[in-house]
Amino acid sequence: MRIYLVGYMGVGKTTVGKKLARMLDLPFYDLDAVITESVERTIPEIFEAEGESGFRGVERSYLHKITDTHPSMVLSTGGGTPCFYDNMQFMNEQGITIYLQMDVASLSHRLINSKANRPLIANITAEGLQAYVKRHLDERKDYYEDAHITFPALGMGPAKYDRLVQEVRALRADGLNG
């Protein structure tokens, strides 16, 4: 079973992914970490050298590579991964997609202290961050909402993780390829 986690930056895809993988006894991968390790450059370095379009090409290539080599996994994708090329359609065809959803205020609060590591928001002021997140999230929402499961990511605790596992297993039982 392949599970792809999608959602805006800062929503908790990696944290949720690691826990979900343990609960389902699947290997976990973070797409950004796979890229960084493989090309031996950080995401900000790739953005700086190749621009966003160059990065998105690298990202698509590694999304396909990891999918081709792992028939079972939980993969945390980058916030923009589903929004470029045919990535969302590809992930929907290859497994179960989960959109981790969160409100703009909560996302902005989470992102304020990690701006330096995120090339798209590194130069945005704290005051402008919430407006940027709202606009950017609105642009990406249609892609995210194409996921098989939309799940509220705020306040993830044991009961919510159990509910998420139940939703994944129900989709699997219904015959969704994954």
List of domains in the chain: 2-152 (3.40.50.300)
Please give the Cα distance from 141 to 63 (Å, whole number).
20
Q: What are phi and psi of 152, to 5 degrees?
A: -70, 120
Q: In terms of pTM, does the model score above 0.75? A: yes
Chain position carrying tokens 């996994």 = 73
- Tell me which residue of 82, 63, 60, 74 sits closest to 3, measured CA to CA: 74
Please say whether the beta carbons of 144 and 7 come within 8 A. Answer: yes
Q: Are strands 73-76 and 96-101 parallel, antiparallel or unpaired?
A: unpaired
pLDDT tens digits, one per residue of 22-48: 999 999 999 999 999 999 999 889 989
Residues 17, 23, 27, 33, Cα dihedral to 10°: 20
pLDDT band at 55 (very low <50, low <70, confident <90, very high): very high
Rounded to whole angstroms, the Cα distance separating 26 from 21 reads 5
177: pLDDT strictly greater than 70: no
Query: With bands split at pLDDT 50, 70 and 90, how would you rate the model's confidence at 123?
Result: confident
